Chain A
Amino acid sequence: MSHVSVRGVWKEYPNQVVLERVNLEIPSGEFCALVGPSGCGKTTFLRMLLGEESPSRGSILLDGEPLVAEPGPERGVVFQRYSVFPHLTALQNVVIGREFASSRFLARLFGAQRREAEEEAKSILATVGLGAHLNKYPAELSGGMQQRLAIAQALIRKPKILLLDEPFGALDSGTKAQMYELLLRLWAEEKMTVFMVTHDLKEGFTLATRVLAFDKVRLDPTDPGAYGATITYNLPLDEKKARMAQAEAAAAEAVPAS
């Protein structure tokens, strides 16, 4: 379960209101796209979900519990760049999540535990299509492959929520299409709640089951920082969800038949 409630959240900096009166109820398993013009606070909102920043007013609840005020393993993240560790190979980049969890002091695993973690990491890397590149360093991978690696890395801790900050912003359109397919498949398999910031409206509508548009509703021309942005549209794409459920059910029927 991963129900997210946002209640009366404001985010203010000195002389600037970024977000105001944000209220939101996101049921478990939803795929939300956060869209809007640049500087409208969508990334700030994502950072608050991540725990990197905390709201000035209001609260964010995950399954009824207030969100911990720093990043933690229940929330995975993929940034546009720099999400992977440059000094570790693809395999090590994924295994490290297990090592953080199981080895408190050395953060390294040995022997059977290590082999087990490596097997798990290999299967995740195979899912994202990096099975042939286990021992390459991130700098040797293309942009799309680095993002796949970042996703694989986030998946090993099985987060309740996956946060994506313009994950495909630096990729070409062909690679993007492959990444959409991968992301939708993983989302369906892992049953995570996904929040994705994007400046590409089409991308938002293609992927998401709910589109959240951020914009300013009030504007003071003499003081641009006086009012903040809020969620101006909250569009559940129920039709699409139904279609996906249908497709899933059809797939489930097809499996025993074959």
Chain B
Amino acid sequence: MRRIINRRPGRGGVLFWGLLPFAAACAVYAVASAMRLAANPNDKLLPPLSALGEAIARVAFSPDARTGDYLLWVDTAASLQRLGLGLGVSLLIALVLGIAIGLIPYVRAGLAPFVAILSMIPPMAVLPVLFIVFGLDELSKVVLIVFGVVPFLIRDLAGRVGEIPREQLIKAQTLGASSWQIVVRVVLPQMVPRLVDALRLSLGPAWLFLISAEAIAATEGLGYRIFLVRRYMAMDVILPYVAWITLLAFVSDYLLRRFNSRFFPWMQAGKGPS
């Protein structure tokens, strides 16, 4: 008998073991739902899969009775726009400040302690301040995402810049590079894939801040909808929305990973087939 650490599943095995927890979760849900419905046909807590399907058809494929909008798509567009704006602005700020702090001793001396303190402020605690200062519209939601994500991105990137071996920076100087040339040809190209990796880690917090802000003040958006229908205990809408948000997050993470391996082949070079 070989040790268990040396036994590996084959290709089909990987698929099977990967799908198993999903199948198990679905089965547990179906059984629990059936049991509750047997006891009380009007139970709203665990609606049957058919009710979930009807709810999806209602919010995604038929116009809303009051507004005439297709709710799911309107909510998705609103949320993704806020998320995209917030993360885009965060990336730009992090790229500029992260590289400057990591590479230029004077900027590091001036800004590193400030950013370190800033990153300790709980973003949700300043949400009321953001609502007061920026109003209840789009801006405060975008600013919350930026505020929540940027300090982490800056510190991560500055740390990565600091990890660039001293030898590389000296070598560039002996080839006659100016500080600016070192930034554009040596530091920036090596930092973009690292920033994308940091962004992938930030997707979770970014969604958290987005849904929180939408729950408190919004007129459309995925988070807004979930918290709106909560009043009617409409689990049949909440559950598909949660699944949809999860899918969006998963797909964006996947796309970012593909982006890295497509445009930065040197990161995988020499590490064998992956």
Contact with A along B216-257 (1 / 0, CB 8 A): 000000000000000000000000000000000000000000
Interface check B177, CB cutoff 8 A: yes
List A contacts of B171 (CB < 8 A): 77, 79, 83-85, 150, 153-154
Binds B, one of A97-105, A213-221, A234-242: A97-105
Contacts A86-B266, A87-B189; A139 near B167 (Cβ below 8 A): no
Measured CB to CB, the nearest residue on chain B to A52 is: B170
On whether the beta carbons of A157 and B264 are closer than 8 Å, the reply is no
On whether the beta carbons of B170 and A99 are closer than 8 Å, the reply is no
On whether the beta carbons of B174 and A139 are closer than 8 Å, the reply is no
Contact with B along A81-118 (1 / 0, CB 8 A): 11111111000000011011100111110000000000
On whether the beta carbons of B177 and A100 are closer than 8 Å, the reply is yes
Interface check A148, CB cutoff 8 A: no
Interface check B185, CB cutoff 8 A: yes
Interface check B19, CB cutoff 8 A: no
For B184, give its contact among A75, A83, A106 (CB under 8 Å).
Answer: A106
Least Cβ distance of B226 to chain A in Å?
Answer: 43
Contacts A99-B185, A137-B269, A140-B270; A87 near B190 (Cβ below 8 A): yes
Measured CB to CB, the nearest residue on chain B to A92 is: B185
List A contacts of B18 (CB < 8 A): none
On whether the beta carbons of B270 and A104 are closer than 8 Å, the reply is no
Interface check A41, CB cutoff 8 A: no
Interface check B176, CB cutoff 8 A: yes
Least Cβ distance of A43 to chain B in Å?
Answer: 12
On whether the beta carbons of B175 and A73 are closer than 8 Å, the reply is yes
On whether the beta carbons of A82 and B180 are closer than 8 Å, the reply is no
For A101, give its contact among B174, B176, B184, B186 (CB under 8 Å).
Answer: B176
For A85, give its contact among B168, B180, B264, B270 (CB under 8 Å).
Answer: B168
List A contacts of B170 (CB < 8 A): 50, 52, 71, 77, 79
Contacts A71-B170, A139-B270, A140-B269; A97 near B175 (Cβ below 8 A): yes
List A contacts of B270 (CB < 8 A): 137-140
Chain A 26-76 residues near chain B, CB threshold 8 A: 50, 52, 70-73, 75-76
For B266, give its contact among A83, A99, A100, A139 (CB under 8 Å).
Answer: A139
Contacts A82-B167, A139-B269, A139-B271; A154 near B174 (Cβ below 8 A): yes
Contact with A along B144-179 (1 / 0, CB 8 A): 000000000000000000000111101111111110
On whether the beta carbons of B173 and A72 are closer than 8 Å, the reply is yes
Interface check B181, CB cutoff 8 A: yes
List B contacts of A71 (CB < 8 A): 170, 173-174
On whether the beta carbons of A76 and B174 are closer than 8 Å, the reply is yes
On whether the beta carbons of A96 and B174 are closer than 8 Å, the reply is no
On whether the beta carbons of A75 and B174 are closer than 8 Å, the reply is yes
Interface check A204, CB cutoff 8 A: no
Interface check A159, CB cutoff 8 A: yes
List A contacts of B166 (CB < 8 A): 82
Measured CB to CB, the nearest residue on chain A to B264 is: A87
Measured CB to CB, the nearest residue on chain B to A79 is: B167
Contact with B along A139-163 (1 / 0, CB 8 A): 1100000000010011011010000
For B175, give its contact among A52, A81, A106, A157 (CB under 8 Å).
Answer: A157
Interchain CA distance A242-B195 in the complex, whole Å = 57
On whether the beta carbons of A96 and B185 are closer than 8 Å, the reply is yes
Measured CB to CB, the nearest residue on chain A to B180 is: A105
Interchain CA distance A15-B164 in the complex, whole Å = 29
List B contacts of A150 (CB < 8 A): 171
On whether the beta carbons of B174 and A73 are closer than 8 Å, the reply is yes
On whether the beta carbons of A104 and B178 are closer than 8 Å, the reply is yes
List B contacts of A87 (CB < 8 A): 189-190, 264, 266
Measured CB to CB, the nearest residue on chain A to B177 is: A100
List B contacts of A154 (CB < 8 A): 171, 174-175
Interchain CA distance A52-B174 in the complex, whole Å = 10
Interchain CA distance A153-B168 in the complex, whole Å = 12
On whether the beta carbons of B176 and A70 are closer than 8 Å, the reply is no
Least Cβ distance of B107 to chain A in Å?
Answer: 18
On whether the beta carbons of B165 and A82 are closer than 8 Å, the reply is yes
List A contacts of B174 (CB < 8 A): 50, 71-73, 75-77, 154, 157, 159
On whether the beta carbons of B185 and A107 are closer than 8 Å, the reply is yes
On whether the beta carbons of B173 and A104 are closer than 8 Å, the reply is no
Q: List 21 A-B contacts (CB under 8 A).
A: A71-B170, A71-B173, A72-B176, A73-B175, A73-B176, A77-B170, A79-B171, A82-B168, A85-B186, A86-B269, A87-B189, A87-B264, A99-B185, A100-B172, A107-B184, A137-B265, A137-B270, A139-B269, A139-B271, A150-B171, A154-B171
Q: Kindly list 10 other residue pairs between chains A and B, CB separation below 8 angstroms, not including A150-B171, A154-B171.
A: A50-B170, A50-B174, A52-B170, A76-B174, A77-B171, A79-B171, A83-B167, A87-B264, A100-B178, A100-B181
Closest 5 A-B residue pairs measured CB to CB? A139-B270, A73-B176, A82-B165, A71-B173, A137-B269
